[in-house]
């Protein structure tokens, strides 16, 4: 659904970055995520569509009262969609920072938005034009809401809640009592009570007419990100960083239920229009949507498939499996042909920075960054085989071409391991800071390492002797050898440098990215270089340095790219939590049958 141009598949639904909300007619559940808005059929829980158009993660979505329009805010823009057809209607521009919250007036004619740029803006929801910017705000706005009669507008920000006349912008009340930022505000259906949830671990109930404090609800052990009243106004739900959802009596403030099931922060809670179901969403580390029976507190259903930031990906040697290392401490194994998730590998206690298959395809190695551990897994079964300890942080792992040695790059040092026994063989010293990338030359005789200290080291893979040091102008985020081993590519700040691997001479600088180049990889035929960094992937002619193609589809930084063994597919992963598969169409990358007697590729 909603694949970008040139992409043939998407693995994972992206990360949950905003709220979940039901349509007024109770037929659809919308989820704000890093790549768009997922719409689900409430009866079957099947995906209906994916709405894409934002250039970054979506932080807030809202349906109009008639259910005809869906609004979304995230980057610096707000988008309006036809909620039935998914057709894009308008893009509202004017904010200068992230849009944290959007809400419709009860009559559906006005949309309000609150932003990190310290402003609240009112828009004509029908034609998408700017109506008014509310004055007097000096802090970030985390949440906005209209009262049920549309007369009052409220906002949550730095320790305070502000109530204003929605028509005249006249200030009515400033509610003080929280001791930290207010992340969520919600009116009761009768408009008489306002609930606010804060980073100070409390929920406060306020009298809307007088501005007086009614109750303080205590029970969460960490910050509250979302509060929501049931349609009958009798119940209040709250979601917290402490992974729980608490259900409260909205009149007395009495605690009724605690819902447990999330394993990380609950960022959004939303009641169905009939009040019988509560949807809750958690974002990073364990992004899922849970559906609950409000009366009993029982878990009813889970919406899965959401994924966290992807730091590294690798194809198995047969091209049938793709491994992805994630911010949530896990490795996911995917069937490349079907896109089906096969296994989740758990064992790291820190984000997985690097994954690498052994040349025979039997073993997968993973490095966990801060947890200083390398795990070896059965690539076919997903079962844990071995843990390698005794090193510092692990930012990169790679097998030698013969599969006998595993190299890891950490904080200042490179480590060599016996890939069969797990025995530590050697420590290579010379870097003065973290090592982002390590790799063997195709013949296995040379080892390259690049890192934060703006240097690239070439080592004798057998003896560990330092052969050469290449000095870069930038931090080195990624290094990769060409197929013939004669050229080395390194990714830095906006540029890619090409080096003569034998002499260390700088050959060429490739420019085109607008941010750090986090990843570089040569195609199996050595004729194409892929790079990823900002939100794009660039394909370059490896011989001439000419840019051949730009692939656009990620909504945030691209951390990793990897070619399939046949060179026909490129995989990319990044901060938006997805892996995209691209069919490579440049003439220099062909199928294995397009190879002449000398092993050179040609175009059919």
Q: Write the pLDDT tens digit of every residue in 305-317.
A: 999 899 999 999 9
494-499: list long-range contacts, CB under 8 Å, 24+ apart. Answer: 494/533, 496/520, 496/529, 496/531, 496/540, 497/472, 498/545, 499/456, 499/470
If asked whether residues 178 and 256 sit together in one domain, one would say yes
Domain boundary among 267, 286, 303: 303
Q: How confident is the model at residue 592 (pLDDT cuts 50, 70, 90)?
A: very low
Residue 74 lies in a domain: no
Q: How confident is the model at residue 284 (pLDDT cuts 50, 70, 90)?
A: low
What's the longest Cα–Cα distance across the chain?
87
Q: How high does pLDDT run on average in the chain?
A: 92
pLDDT at 598 over 60: no
234-238: list long-range contacts, CB under 8 Å, 24+ apart. Answer: 235/271, 235/275, 235/294, 236/186, 236/195, 236/203, 236/205, 237/269, 237/271, 237/278, 237/280, 238/197, 238/203, 238/269
pLDDT at 604 over 70: no
Q: For residue 492, count CB atoms less than 10 angstroms from its CB and return exposed for 0-12, middle for 13-18, buried for 19 or more.
A: buried
If asked whether residues 265 and 399 sit together in one domain, one would say no
If asked whether residues 348 and 407 sit together in one domain, one would say yes
Q: What percent of the chain has pLDDT over 90?
A: 88
Q: How confident is the model at residue 476 (pLDDT cuts 50, 70, 90)?
A: very high
Calculate the CA 505 to chain-centre distance.
38
If asked whether residues 177 and 249 sit together in one domain, one would say yes
The predicted model gives 93-118 an average pLDDT of 95
If asked whether residues 549 and 578 sit together in one domain, one would say yes
Residue 163 lies in a domain: yes
Q: How confident is the model at residue 1 (pLDDT cuts 50, 70, 90)?
A: confident
List, in sequence order, every residue forming a beta bridge with 560; answer none if it has no partner. 573
Contact 479/487 with Cβ under 8 angstroms? Answer: no
For 381, other C-beta atoms within 10 Å of its C-beta total: 12
Residue 76 lies in a domain: no
pLDDT at 118 over 80: yes
CATH number assigned to the domain comprising residue 162: 2.130.10.10
The predicted model gives 539-543 an average pLDDT of 94
**pLDDT for residue 588:** 37
Residue 548 lies in a domain: yes
pLDDT at 603 over 50: no
Domain boundary among 303, 336, 356: 303
Q: How confident is the model at residue 473 (pLDDT cuts 50, 70, 90)?
A: confident
pLDDT at 57 over 50: yes
**pLDDT for residue 286:** 76
Residue 522 lies in a domain: yes
Q: How many domains are contained in the chain?
A: 2
Contact 257/297 with Cβ under 8 angstroms? Answer: yes
pLDDT at 591 over 50: no
If asked whether residues 240 and 330 sit together in one domain, one would say no
If asked whether residues 193 and 321 sit together in one domain, one would say no
Residue 119 lies in a domain: no
Domain boundary among 303, 338, 368: 303
If asked whether residues 298 and 429 sit together in one domain, one would say no
pLDDT at 601 over 60: no
Residue 517 lies in a domain: yes
The predicted model gives 480-484 an average pLDDT of 94
Contact 581/573 with Cβ under 8 angstroms? Answer: no
pLDDT at 506 over 60: yes
Residue 387 lies in a domain: yes
**pLDDT for residue 602:** 28
Q: Give the residue numbers spanning the domain of 370.
A: 310-583
If asked whether residues 383 and 400 sit together in one domain, one would say yes
Q: How confident is the model at residue 341 (pLDDT cuts 50, 70, 90)?
A: very high
Q: How far lies 546's CA from each of 56, 82, 163, 410, 540, in Å?
A: 28, 42, 57, 33, 6
If asked whether residues 275 and 317 sit together in one domain, one would say no
If asked whether residues 218 and 237 sit together in one domain, one would say yes
If asked whether residues 256 and 320 sit together in one domain, one would say no
410-415: list long-range contacts, CB under 8 Å, 24+ apart. Answer: 410/372, 410/434, 410/435, 411/435, 414/438, 414/447, 414/449, 414/457, 414/459, 415/391
């Amino acid at each position: 659904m909603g694949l970008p141009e040139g992409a043939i598949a998407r693995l994972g639904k992206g990360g949950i970055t905003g709220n979940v909300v039901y349509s007024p007619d109770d037929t659809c559940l919308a989820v704000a995520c890093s790549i768009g808005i997922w719409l689900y059929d409430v009866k079957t829980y099947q995906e209906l569509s994916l709405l894409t158009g934002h250039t970054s993660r979506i932080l807030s979505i809202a349906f109009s009262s008639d259910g005809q329009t869906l609004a979304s805010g995230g980057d610096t823009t707000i988008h309006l969609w036809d909620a039935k057809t998914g057709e894009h209607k308008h893009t509202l521009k004017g904010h200068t920072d992230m849009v944290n919250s959007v809400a419709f007036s009860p009559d559906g004619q006005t949309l309000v938005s609150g932003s990190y740029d310290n402003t609240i803006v009112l828009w004509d929801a029908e034609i998408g034009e700017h109506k008014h910017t509310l004055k007097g705000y000096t802090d970030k706005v985390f949440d906005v809401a209209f009262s049920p009669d549309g007369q009052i507008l409220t906002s949550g920000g730095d320790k305070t809640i502000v109530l204003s006349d929605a028509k005249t912008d006249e200030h009515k009340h400033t509610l003080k009592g929280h001791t930290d930022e207010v992340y969520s505000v919600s009116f009761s259906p009768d408009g008489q009570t306002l609930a606010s949830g804060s980073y100070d671990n409390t929920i406060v109930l306020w009298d809307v007419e007088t501005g007086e404090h009614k109750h303080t609800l205590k029970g969460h052990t960490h910050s509250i990100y979302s509060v929501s009243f049931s349609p009958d106004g009798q119940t209040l739900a709250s979601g917290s960083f402490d992974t729980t959802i608490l259900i409260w009596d909205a009149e007395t403030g009495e605690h009724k239920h605690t819902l447990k099931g999330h394993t990380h922060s609950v960022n959004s809670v939303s009641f169905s229009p009939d009040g019988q179901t509560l949807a809750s969403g958690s974002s990073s580390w364990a992004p899922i949507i849970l559906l609950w029976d409000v009366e009993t507190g029982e878990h009813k259903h889970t919406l899965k498939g959401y994924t966290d930031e992807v730091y590294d990906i690798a194809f198995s040697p047969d091209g049938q499996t793709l491994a992805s290392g994630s911010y949530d401490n896990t490795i996911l194994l995917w069937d490349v042909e079907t896109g089906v998730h096969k296994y989740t590998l758990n064992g790291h206690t820190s984000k997985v920075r690097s994954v690498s298959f052994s040349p025979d395809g039997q073993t997968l190695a993973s490095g966990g960054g801060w947890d200083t551990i390398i795990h070896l897994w059965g690539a076919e079964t997903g079962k844990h085989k071995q843990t390698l300890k005794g090193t510092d942080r692990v930012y990169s792992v790679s097998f030698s071409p013969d599969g006998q040695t595993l190299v890891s790059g950490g904080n200042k040092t490179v480590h060599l391991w016996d890939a069969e026994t797990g025995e530590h063989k050697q420590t290579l010293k010379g870097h003065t800071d973290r090592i982002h990338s390590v790799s063997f030359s195709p013949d296995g005789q040379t080892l390259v390492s690049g890192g934060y200290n703006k240097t690239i080291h070439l080592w004798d893979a057998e003896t560990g002797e330092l052969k050469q040091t290449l000095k870069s102008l930038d931090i080195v985020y990624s290094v990769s050898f060409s197929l013939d081993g004669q050229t080395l590519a390194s990714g830095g700040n906006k540029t890619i440098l090409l080096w003569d691997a034998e002499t260390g001479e700088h050959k060429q600088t490739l420019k085109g990215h607008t941010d750090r180049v986090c990843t570089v990889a040569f195609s199996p035929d050595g004729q194409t270089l892929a790079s990823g960094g900002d939100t794009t992937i660039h394909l370059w002619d490896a011989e001439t340095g000419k840019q051949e193609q730009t692939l656009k589809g990620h909504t945030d930084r691209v951390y990793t790219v990897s070619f399939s063994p046949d060179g026909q597919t490129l995989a990319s992963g990044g901060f938006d939590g997805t892996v995209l598969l691209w069919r490579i169409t440049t003439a220099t990358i062909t199928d294995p049958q397009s190879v002449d007697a000398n092993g050179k590729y040609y175009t059919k």
